[in-house]
Each structure stands twice: as C-alpha cells, then as structure tokens.
Amino acid sequence: MNKRWSFFATLLMMSTPAFAAITLTTSEEIKIAAINGQEVNTGLFSSNKKAHQLKTGENVISVRYSQYFEENRNIGTHEIVRSNIVNIKTPLLDDNQTYYLSLIDTPKNVDAARDYAKQPVFGLYNSKNQLLVKQQGAKTSGLGIVSNLFVEGESINRNQVNVQPSPEYTAQAKLNQPKEEISTDVSVKGGQDQRLIQIWKNASKVERQKFLTWLAEQ
C-alpha cells in the first residue's frame, strides 16, 4: 500500500510544473504602476518595493519616472519631478533570471529632470548587464510635481496625449518569431491526388466497398 502511494506521489510531482521565479529590480527613480495590467500598490503608506515578480515570456510593465530634489533643506521644501506612464513590452524572459530596469541618461539636477520627464527613456537589462530593450515615453509637456514636506500636488497637461515610440530591441533580446503563412504547393497536392487515384484503381471490390461504407459514415 505504501509503495502504491509513493508511486502516485511521484506521478503527481512529475505532472506538477515547478515554479520558476523571474525577478525584476528597478532603480530608485522608477516607480512601477502595473505589471501585465495588474496594478501595483504604490500608495503613500505602501512599501516601496524595488523587486517584483514577472512571468515567463513576454511582460508589459507600466512605469513612470519619479525623482526627488531638495530645494531648501532649512525650510523643508522639495520638488518631485514625475513623468506620465510609459508601457514597456519586454522580450521573452527566461526562468530563474533577474532583470534590471533603469533610466538611460538619468538627469543630475532639477532643471534637467523637468525636461527629461517630458520624454523619459527606460532600459531593461539582463543579469549580464546587457541592454535588451529601450523604451522612450510619449513626448509631453507641463509634467511634474512641486511639493513641500506636507502637501503634494501634480500638474499634468491633459490636453496633449501622444503615442509613445515603438520599443527598440537589441540583438541580445529574444523575441517571438512571426508565424509563417502556410502556402499550398500545387505540385504536391496534385501528386497526392494521383496517389489516391492509383490506390483506388489497385483496390479490390471488397476494399472499395469498405472505403465507401467508411466514407458514408463520416
């Protein structure tokens, strides 16, 4: 009895796929808004996670650029510059791997950040620090948050909505291959027809009757 249960347990373990985690880490200036359409909790009192789980294959990561600058430490004023949401379609991601999402050409001061937020550029890297895809945001204007220690407010130009540029995949990125169209080879089809005719000619009366009976039942 124990042997039988051991056998069933072995079959169950073999038929159950092992969980293979794919980890995404991000730089400090990147906020994850959603992963594959599933909103990520990034509210005021939520933990600021820098590691997220992705699925095997392609993923769509919705992110925004957000950077903090102190204006006057003595009176506690600061500015947070933010971009609109940018959607990044990843290449095919491998099991048990870690990927890193970072800004390309991160701005060093608040003036540069204001311009950068109008069209930020994100890069996805593999564990070998190889760039896989570069995604630029849609060019917008009037973005940013100016705030102090207690109040935050966002100013977004909602009258201007542009489509973001296409992703730029590198040679290191693995992509889904487009499906090839199935073409009908007339010569092959003709050869198959001739073969069926020849089989029919060589068949006996009984074999022909069996074939017609089978054909009528289909």
Query: Tens place of pLDDT for every residue, the chain, 218 residues?
Result: 454 444 444 444 444 444 558 999 999 999 999 999 999 876 544 445 678 999 999 999 999 999 999 876 666 677 999 999 999 999 999 999 999 999 999 999 999 999 999 999 999 999 999 999 999 999 875 444 443 333 333 433 444 456 899 999 999 999 987 765 555 454 545 567 777 777 877 878 777 777 777 777 76
> What's the CA gap between 82 and 152, in Å, rounded?
12
**Are 5 and 13 contacting, i.e. CB atoms less than 8 angstroms apart?**
no
**C-alpha 160 chain-centroid distance:** 26
Burial class (CB in 10 A: 0-12, 13-18, 19+), 186: exposed
